[in-house]
Amino acid sequence: MFARKLPVAVMATAFLVFLSACGESPAPDAKLLTKLPPDMVAELNAAFNARDIARKCPSELTFNEAEKKRQFELLALRVQAEGYDDVLDSALEISQLPERELQKQFLDYVKRRGVVFSDKRTWCAAGRADIAEKTAIGKYLLAR
């Protein structure tokens, strides 16, 4: 579910590339992300989950590309300013997020929102709730 790949060459574009790829989006590696502050990891995870929610409910939700771009540009500037650019500026092939923790967070989200994996309506309801509550995930979603 979270095992995806993201090639990273330059920090300034790493966050922008993360969710802009067509099809299955890659996710950063546990080793890499343990070096980033938790709030940066949380931001990546929120965007990553919002994109998945929008894909599960295309009739009612869309992914907010403009917000993603804005947030990821801010993150890229912060990463550079705080000296984390060396972490992402390597030619590493990033393979996956810290899977256990993200699975736990994802399952907590599913339970909290009452999502049934096979029921598109529950994904739509969860996304609409995130938008209404202005959550970290909700800022990356737009109602159609």
Q: For 6-65, write each residue's pLDDT tens digit.
A: 323 233 334 434 434 434 444 544 555 556 677 877 888 898 899 999 999 999 999 999
Q: Which two tokens stand for residue 22?
A: 């067509």
Task: Report how far residue 77's alpha carbon sits from residue 63's, in angstroms, rounded to the nearest whole number.
Answer: 23
pTM for the model stands at 0.70
Say which residues have a Cβ less than 8 Å from residue 136's Cβ, sequence separation at least 6. 42, 43, 46
Collapsed DSSP state (helix, strand, coil) of residue 5 = strand
92, exposed or middle or buried, with CB in 10 Å at 0-12, 13-18, 19+?
Answer: middle
Of the candidate ranges 22-36, 94-108, 120-134, the one whose mean pLDDT is the lowest: 22-36
Give the single-character DSSP code of 61. Answer: E
What pLDDT is stored for residue 77 in this prediction?
A: 86
Q: Report pLDDT digits (tens) over 80-97.
A: 787 766 555 432 333 345
Q: Which two tokens stand for residue 21?
A: 């790829």
